[in-house]
Amino acid sequence: MELVEQLKLQIIEALNLEDIEADEIDPAEPLFVEGLGLDSIDALELVVMLEKHYGIKITEMEVGKQAFRSLNALTAFIQEQRCPTQGS
């Protein structure tokens, strides 16, 4: 399963979004306010989800803001954390 699809299911489960199907989540849409419409409580749940499923800790607010811009941004963030750029 692609990471984007996996994240959709994990977000729905972690945030109890019972009235949203995975295929309704546009990976390019913002996760907060407009788009999926998540709030600050949801952000905390997402941080916990990332740590639980991927072993990734977000300790800085600015890092979290960038990672949670959209599902595409979150996917890229996870991939970057899993495989840091070699030789830099």
Q: What is the pLDDT of residues 67-82, one digit of tens each?
A: 999 999 999 999 999 8
3-82 is classed in which CATH architecture? Orthogonal Bundle (1.10)
Long-range contacts of 3-11 (CB under 8 A, 24+ apart): 3/75, 3/78, 3/79, 4/71, 4/72, 4/75, 7/71, 7/74, 7/75, 7/78, 8/71, 10/49, 10/53, 11/46, 11/49, 11/71
Q: What is the pLDDT of residues 27-38, one digit of tens each?
A: 999 999 888 999
Percentage of the chain surpassing pLDDT 70?
94
pLDDT given for residue 85 in this prediction = 62
pLDDT given for residue 88 in this prediction = 44
Q: What is the pLDDT of residues 43-68, one digit of tens each?
A: 999 999 999 999 999 999 899 999 99
Contacts of 21 (CB under 8 A, 6+ apart): 12
Annotated domain spans of the chain: 3-82
